[in-house]
Amino acid sequence: MPRVAILSLHTSPLAPLGGSRAGGMNAYIHEVAMALAAVGWEIDVFTRRDSAQLPDVVPMAPGARLVYVTAGPEEPLEPEALASLVDEFAAGVEAVRGREGARYDLVHSHYWLSVAAGELLARRWGVRHLAMFHTLAEVKLRARASEREPQARIDAERVLVHAVDRIVAATEHERQLLRQIYGVPRERVAVIPLGVDLDAFRPRDRDGARSVLVRSGVVPRGDVRILVAVGRLEPLKGFDILVRALAQLTVDDDVFLLIAGGDERSAAEQARLEAVAREVGCFDRVRFLGAVPHEELEVYYNAADVVVVPSFYESFGLVALEAMASGVPVVASRVGGLVATISDGRTGYLVPWRCPEPFAEKIDLLLRNEPLRRALGEAGRVSMEQYAWATVADRLGTLYRETLGSGATAVPAAS
């Protein structure tokens, strides 16, 4: 079976999710590597060694390995510092390949830093290069999801989008943006979404999930309503809008907002959100949970009446998928990938305005109407079936085969 080098220079697929350094992209690389290996692809995922304690190789599953490559100091670095390590990382991957006498048939890279490294390697090895950018600087700037992006990234992405053999976009919208902003022809972009683990995230016993949260002191005993938000604690996620919306709700019951995500690097953002909660008078009903281990999140989703995704931008937005797979309605910003995954009025609500009032209105509507919540939740679960990781990996495998078939057979690597 062909062998694929998956590049994830700046973050490891095994990093714990929900801190400040790992989110949807990490989950994607991990799940896809496992699912592709399960159907026979040989997968090596290369990432930068950011600690001296890490081994050279971690087996992920039969046929899938994570390989740590030394490039720069063996410690966590900011993305800006990583840009100068692209060549060193590529050389490190090539050194591993040479040592093992391996041959790769295809390169699949993630985020612009890895795409830059992937170009160097694919050209050296004479193989095709598929790239996923996950986010693009100019898209973030235009969506006002970011005020400033490094010029090096902007310049590199402008070149890389044309250099790679094929781009994998998560949504049709991303494909359009690639054409509008960068002039990338449609046919050079394949649209394959991210996915969701339909076994881990499925409707379960709501009362049982709530009892777990009561026992652990997250919410008080009694008839309370629960809103859940999940994501890295960053301004981009728009949690301040949600805290303000919480204060505007008009339902009679006590409504608690549980926010999962964050680590020591997001202390400033948490302090900002706490200040907002104090200002609007709902501090005692907001719970900051810190990063919740991914496998424990299902309890929170299942205990939730509504999951809210108030982000300023989401290139895809896995949290919304996880909530819908759990049978919970979602109220989300009408941005990026959320428009593709949430069916407005059927599986949740899409809010076009980035202000608290329309969020409060939709949340109130759902909290007051149990049959509506159930109907949206059930439709959400059904709509997620197309996003099973095995289905996503199957589409990706088809794209790999097509790409390999289009004249790119592995040539002996240059020594």
- State the residues that interact with ligand UDP by CB under 6 A: 17-18, 23-25, 27, 230-232, 260-261, 291-292, 294, 297, 316-319, 322
| Minimum gap (Å) between residue 339 Cβ and ligand UDP | 14
| Minimum gap (Å) between residue 170 Cβ and ligand UDP | 10
Pick 199 or 402: Cβ nearer ligand UDP: 199
Pick 223 or 264: Cβ nearer ligand UDP: 264
Pick 292 or 324: Cβ nearer ligand UDP: 292
| Minimum gap (Å) between residue 51 Cβ and ligand UDP | 20
Pick 17 or 132: Cβ nearer ligand UDP: 17
| Minimum gap (Å) between residue 20 Cβ and ligand UDP | 10
| Minimum gap (Å) between residue 293 Cβ and ligand UDP | 7
Q: What is the spatial distance between Cα 91 and Cα 97, in angstroms, rounded to a whole number? A: 10
| Minimum gap (Å) between residue 287 Cβ and ligand UDP | 12
Are the beta carbons of 323 and 307 closer than 8 angstroms?
yes
Query: Phi-psi bin for 218: left (phi > 0), alpha (psi -120 to 50), beta?
Result: alpha
Pick 140 or 294: Cβ nearer ligand UDP: 294
Residue nearest to ligand UDP (CB): 23
| Minimum gap (Å) between residue 218 Cβ and ligand UDP | 13
Q: What is the spatial distance between Cα 34 and Cα 45, in angstroms, rounded to a whole number? A: 11
| Minimum gap (Å) between residue 216 Cβ and ligand UDP | 15
Pick 105 or 298: Cβ nearer ligand UDP: 298
Q: What is the spatial distance between Cα 304 and Cα 309, in angstroms, rounded to a whole number? A: 13
Q: What is the spatial distance between Cα 231 and Cα 343, in angstroms, rounded to a whole number? A: 21
Pick 316 or 389: Cβ nearer ligand UDP: 316
Pick 7 or 318: Cβ nearer ligand UDP: 318
| Minimum gap (Å) between residue 43 Cβ and ligand UDP | 20
Look up residue 395 and give its two tokens: 């589409």
Pick 42 or 288: Cβ nearer ligand UDP: 288
